[in-house]
Amino acid sequence: MAKTKLRLVYIWSLRNAAADEAGRYIDYKGERRYMKSPLEYLVESLNETPLGDAYSLEAVIFDDDEGSARDREKLEDYGFACGAGRQWFYPPTLAVNGRRVNDLLCAVPSTYRRLPQNTPVRKAGKSDFEARLLEKLSTLDAHLVVLDGLLVILDELVRPGARFYRRIVNIHPGITRIESPYERRGAHATLDALHGAKGLKVVNWRTMEMKPAPVIDMTGASFHYVDDGIDSGEVIVDALDTRIDPQDSILELRWNNFNKSLFPALHRGLMHMAGVAGVVARESV
């Protein structure tokens, strides 16, 4: 009797992948290297490794808002869908277990981001976004949800008692353990690590004010549960295997960290969760 696979849903922000130049060849110390996204790595792993025996990728959700001028600007080179002859985040023919990844793409736009900060209407809009996301995940009957570069902070979906509490995980390009000297949380994790390799610490990201700090020339990645903070959930697995050259560009360091730390952490984390999510799936039947 064939083993029932766990239903996996992947959620990302296309605008974050665009900043990484995912799916392109980037300049790398006098040569060119392909910038593979975590999604493309995941699909290859599902096709070629035991991860594919444990999981079935059911959907790839993105939160980008086609009605937002800022999102349109950030996705100017890519667009919001894979078009003929246009740059995209992975090869257009990429498929997982015979299903084209493009056919798994669906939008749940975080339209509340257009609304003024710190207003009741924005709070209501955020709640509506999470409700729409919950509806989609419930329709898909997701067992496990993986976030990659989702540029919104979840709240209602990850509260204790919520349907997807401890069933949503994140892969982050930095060590998130607060007690670690290598800790790099938030959207600036890679740039923070690059400054650290130069003996500097940014104390104000708005003004880019810096102060001298001990040199830290390593970085890594963490696979962790998602809570309502910024990369603050319980760590499941992490990897600290990326040596930083102070002369790296941010994309060079990003390429190194993806390949040396983030992809391994994602793989090991999903293998671990195959057991944990399997128990959850059986209990929910």
Q: What is the pLDDT of residues 13-26, one digit of tens each?
A: 999 999 999 999 99
8 Å CB contact between 262 and 174 = no
Q: Domains for the chain: give ranges and CATH numbers.
A: 6-177+220-240+261-284 (3.40.50)
Q: What is the pLDDT of residues 180-239, one digit of tens each?
A: 999 999 999 999 999 999 999 999 999 999 999 999 999 999 999 999 999 999 999 999
pLDDT at 231: 97
Per-residue pLDDT of the chain (285 residues; tens, 9 = 90+): 457 899 999 999 999 999 999 999 999 999 999 999 999 999 999 999 999 999 999 999 999 999 999 999 999 999 999 987 789 999 999 999 899 999 999 999 999 999 999 999 999 999 999 999 999 999 999 999 999 999 999 999 999 999 999 999 999 999 999 999 999 999 999 999 999 999 999 999 999 999 999 999 999 999 999 999 999 999 999 999 999 999 999 999 999 999 999 999 999 999 999 987 554 444 443
pLDDT at 83: 85
